Structures are given as C-alpha cells and as structure tokens.
Amino acid sequence: MSVNFEELDYQKTELGELSLRRRRMPSLEGIDVFEIKLNESFLMSSLFNKVEIALADLSLAELQGSGFDVVVGGLGLGYTARAALENPAVKSLLVIDALQPVIDWHRRGLVPLGTQLTSDPRCRFVRGDFFAAVNSEALDPERPGKKFHAILLDIDHSPRNLLHPRHQSFYDGEGLRQLTRHLLPGGVFAMWSDDPPDEQFLQALDHAFAEVRAHIVTFANPLAENDSASTVYVALPRMK
C-alpha cells in the first residue's frame, strides 16, 4: 500500500459499497485527506469542510438563549457535529446516521474528529434512518416526543441527487411538514446541498416554514485551482 494512499476500511452496506480512504497530497504540502466513498460517489472529503461547518454556524446563529438541544442527520467525517459542539450554547447533540460503519469509524478513532466527538458527553450517536424518524414520534429513540431547538441535515447530495429514492418524499414537502413537529417554538431547520439553490425545493420549504433563506457558501478548491460553492438552506417554522 502506497504511503500516499490507504484504504482504512471497506464495508458492504444496504446503500452499497462504502469505503474510508486516506490520501496524502504532496501538492498540498503533504497533508492527509480523508475521504468517504459510497459506490462511485464521494460522500465527504476532509479537504472540503467549510460548508459543513457553515451548516452548524448559520443555523445556530438563528437561535436565542442557550441550552440548545440539536439533531444532526448524517455524521460523515463529523465537521457539522464538531462545529455544533464548539458552540457553548449547545447542551446536547444527537447524531443520526444510517450507516453503522461510519459511526464505528468515529468510535475507533479512524477519522480525525472521532475521538473529539466521542469524548464529548454532550454528543450521542444513533444508528437509524433519519427520514423514517422524521415521520415517527421520535427523532431520539430514547425520548419519544422530545422536541429540539435545531435540526441539521447533511445526507443527500442535494434535493435532486439522492442516496436512495425513498428519500424523495421528504424533499417534496410532506417530510418537511412532518419535521416541523420535532422543532421547539423559535427553532430552526437547516440543510446542506451541493447544488445551487433549487427553486422547487425552496417552494416546498415555503409551504412548510414561515421564513426560508438559501445561503451560497463559497470555498477554495485546490484540486480545480478555483472556488467552488454549495448551498445551506435555513428555515424557521411558523409560530404556533
């Protein structure tokens, strides 16, 4: 195995072939880049984490007070979770991920942020289907009916580029309306997308929430030698 490339783990999952890789890039001063790949698609790279961090920062900035209970749908390499925990107003963080190997990588310390997340008593991982949980009475299986100050989503590539077709109903609107049941008054929902703002999805958000914004977040892309951009949607529910 080359010192410049190592496959740290490989697993077959219900969504396909999942791998964790470490790549050393001499062109970037020899830094180690960690990548998660599902089948032929890259789910996450440690080289690009600005938008994952912005997902937490932009959403939590909408909240007033402290003692926030936060849910993150999708663990990945943990950058959104860490950004949430770096906010001193966060009291608890529940991370829901459908792929047990991803959770195990963090618990085994195979990814850079694993030890930091697993050692924080505010943070708990749950293996589960985020979208199914939204349609149930319990995002937190240990506390049915519990509502949250913030729900952050980073699972699919975009509302049009899904990891599984069964996720589509969430983005069409009904799932968004179901999600609002799990938010406290004054709470916030936010979501990452790799695509530009999607007008059809914005309309679905408008039907479910009182206020919706699409933030375009740009970041340096040293591989392409230019800037790239992703979208963070932020939505505030109607007051009941």
Task: CATH number for 48-236: choose from 1.20.81.30, 3.40.50.150, 3.60.15.10, 3.40.50.720.
Answer: 3.40.50.150
Closest by CA to 191, choosing from 162, 226, 219, is 162
pLDDT at 64 over 60: yes
Geometric angle at alpha carbon 159, from 19 and 68, rounded to 5°: 80
Confidence of residue 196 (pLDDT cuts 50, 70, 90): very high
pLDDT at 124 over 50: yes
What share of the chain in percent tops pLDDT 70? 95
Token pair listed for 7 = 């496959």
Domain ranges of the chain: 48-236
DSSP state of 27: G
* Sequence-separated (6 or more) residues with CB below 8 Å from residue 159: 171, 193, 195, 198, 200, 201
Region 116-144: mean pLDDT is 97
Tens digits of residue pLDDT in 138-190: 999 999 999 999 999 999 999 999 999 999 999 998 999 999 999 999 999 99
Confidence of residue 1 (pLDDT cuts 50, 70, 90): very low
